[in-house]
Structure 1
Amino acid sequence: MPESHEHLQTLTEIRSLMERSSKFLSLSGLSGLSAGLIALVGSIVVYTQLQADWLRVINYDRLAVYDDAVRDSVKSFLVIAALIVLVTTLLAGTYFTVRKARRQGLGNVWNTSSQRLLWAMIVPLVTGGVFCLGLLFYDLIWLTFPATLIFYGLALINGSKHTLRDVESLGYCEIGLGLLSVFLPGYNLLTWAIGFGALHIVYGLAMYYKYERTSA
């Protein structure tokens, strides 16, 4: 029995080493938490800028009667707000991920596993970004919100095989919420805030308590 237990422990250690070499396991729950908070702040800014009824029911009919200059200003504002949220989220996520890797003694974060993760996610993300720009070009603003959720969810699912499998569950939630948002166009901003805000906060807290707090 002791010898069998030692063999089992050895196999477990070997499996853990193989997993660490093939998967990027330094994603921090605090990265998800910060992403959610940043997204909520961005949603509040958009909500405030585009009048209060946009949170409850986005009046696309009202937007349609505006002239091209007003519609272009709205689209430009949405693109700028999204870029600011994206860049800020990436900076915060990078900081917390690097900090976790250093605490785990993993050294350089930019390695083969992180490169595989990035490539797996960047294809659906770039595709979705270009697709959303096309929707904005044709004034299909109401489809832009669910499209960002759907493509982001696809990116998470595609990248989950190179990192923590918990990311896959978040991806399915994002896709489901995005599909629901297609049929609730008046609540696009609200579903966007839930998807990128609330879900990230819940995911981040769950990951932190599951993987990081016990080892802190």
Structure 2
Amino acid sequence: MNEQQHLDSLHDIKRIMERSTRFMSLSGLGGVGAGISALIGAFFAWKLLEGETRSSRAEGLGSYGAPADNLLVLQLLLIAGAVLVAALGTGFFFTWRKAQAQGLPVWDASARKVTYNLAIPLFAGGLFIAGLLYNGYAGLAAPACLVFYGLALVNASKYTVTDIRYLGYAEILIGILALFNLYNGLFFWALGFGVMHIFYGALMWWKYERNPAA
């Protein structure tokens, strides 16, 4: 066995070990789909906020009244829920398709580890944001979403492609910037969940899926 064969064997062993400990079927196209869903949701949220602002100005109000605020928050939550369903749906579809092409199970021990490590910060963040909304601090919801989501990605990156960690860092940074620009929360939300997902999804596709044989 020559040196090249030894290197090939080591490469195969490394790949097998990596697949047994990391969830490698995560699809970049799923990230792109999630980003597009987020941008569409941000557009509808922007139109909703713009319409509410015009209505308040026409009535001579300096700010939204309490009933309007409650209705507005509910409508924004419905939009966010629709975005979440669309993002999860596209992400699962492309991940399932990639796993099928690789001949790998989509739900194995490594997938469960990724899900578990994502779920803990996301669940905590969801409760934290619910508390913010309950106490009337809706303006802090967008920064909190980004920061907790970034923490979830960093936490789960140990069990999937390491590029996810850098996306997590970017989400945390954008969330912190949004904290100092509360009146532009929707812009930072669209930047973090929309633009960054599309950018990193396209990067992952180019790096890992463009040439599957490699």
- Over 3 Å counting, the alpha-carbon distance change for 1:53 and 1:208 in structure 2 is farther
Q: Which residue of 2 aligns with 1:141?
A: 138
Identity percentage over the alignment? 43
Question: Does 2:199 align with 1:205?
Answer: no
Following superposition of structure 1 onto structure 2, how do residues 18-97 of structure 1 map, counting pairs within 5 Å?
Answer: 18-51=17-50, 65-97=63-95
Separation in 2, partners of 1:124, 1:146 = 14
- Residue 50 of structure 1 deviates from its aligned partner by 1.0
For the Cα contact (< 8 Å) 1:63–1:71, is it kept in 2? no
Larger relative contact order (Cα-Cα within 8 Å, sequence gap ≥ 6): 1
- Over 3 Å counting, the alpha-carbon distance change for 1:65 and 1:48 in structure 2 is closer
- Over 3 Å counting, the alpha-carbon distance change for 1:63 and 1:98 in structure 2 is farther
Question: Does 2:190 align with 1:188?
Answer: no
SS in 2 for 1:161: helix
Separation in 2, partners of 1:50, 1:215 = 44
Separation in 1, partners of 2:62, 2:88 = 34
Deviations for 1:109-139, whole angstroms, at most 9, x for unmatched residues? Answer: 1111100000000000011011111111111
Q: Which residue of 2 aligns with 1:156?
A: 153
Separation in 2, partners of 1:47, 1:166 = 30
Deviations for 1:28-55, whole angstroms, at most 9, x for unmatched residues? Answer: 110000000000000000000110798x
Q: Structure 2: any 5+ residue segments left out of the alignment?
A: 54-59
- Matched to 1:173, the amino acid is A
SS in 1 for 2:202: helix
Q: Which residue of 1 aligns with 2:165?
A: 168
- Residue 213 of structure 1 deviates from its aligned partner by 1.1
Q: Aligned match of 1:103 in 72, 88, 101?
A: 101
- Residue 64 of structure 1 deviates from its aligned partner by 8.2
Question: Does 2:114 align with 1:117?
Answer: yes
- Over 3 Å counting, the alpha-carbon distance change for 1:38 and 1:167 in structure 2 is same
Q: Structure 1: any 5+ residue segments left out of the alignment?
A: 55-61
SS in 2 for 1:156: helix
TM-align CA RMSD: 2.0
**TM-score of the pair, normalised by structure 2:** 0.92
Separation in 1, partners of 2:9, 2:151 = 36
**TM-score of the pair, normalised by structure 1:** 0.91
